[in-house]
């Protein structure tokens, strides 16, 4: 066996393994289901026109369920601030909420104006008071 071929094969295999372990698919990182900060709500998050949200104007839908009972949570007043942690500020465009019933809430006008890491900072008040700030790590 030629040692240089064996070494080249090992380097190629290690490089392939490293790429497969470190490559990031933004949709894998998009938090589609998570708990609120105080653990009171289970939240399912989707976005339109694509997942994860991209630079530009998006809409997001939340489905809120009680963490203990699993029942839909209606009657919430929810604010959303799209925020860029690395820049230390959010956007001046205010997302528009609409309750759809059965725990569904839709926000339109979610404006992510540049690529990078964003957080969607939600504040919930009503039957459940809590917050959540899921990361969207690689907005393109």
Region 105-118: mean pLDDT is 95
Q: Nearest Cα to 112, choosing from 129, 76, 131, 137? A: 137
According to the model, what pLDDT value does residue 52 have?
84
According to the model, what pLDDT value does residue 6 have?
44
| Res 128 pLDDT > 90 | yes
Average pLDDT over all residues of the chain: 82
Q: What is the pTM of this model?
A: 0.77
**pLDDT tens digits, residue range 34-68?**
999 999 999 999 998 888 888 999 999 999 999 99
According to the model, what pLDDT value does residue 31 have?
61
Whether 45 contacts 32, CB under 8 Å: yes
CATH class of the domain whose range is 25-139 = mainly beta
Domain positions in the chain are 25-139
């Amino acid at each position: 066996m030629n040692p240089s071929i064996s070494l080249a094969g090992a380097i190629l295999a290690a490089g392939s393994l490293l790429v497969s372990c470190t490559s990031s698919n933004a949709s894998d990182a998009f938090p589609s289901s998570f708990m609120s900060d105080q653990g009171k709500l289970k939240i399912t998050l989707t976005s339109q026109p694509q997942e994860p949200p991209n630079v530009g104007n998006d809409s997001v839908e939340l489905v809120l369920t009680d963490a203990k009972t699993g029942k839909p949570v209606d009657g919430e007043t929810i604010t959303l601030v799209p925020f860029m942690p690395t820049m230390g500020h959010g956007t001046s465009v205010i997302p528009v909420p609409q309750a759809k019933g059965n725990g569904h809430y839709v926000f339109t006008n979610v404006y992510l104006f540049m690529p990078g890491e964003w957080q969607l900072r939600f504040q919930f008040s009503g039957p459940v008071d809590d917050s959540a700030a899921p990361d969207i790590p690689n907005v393109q």
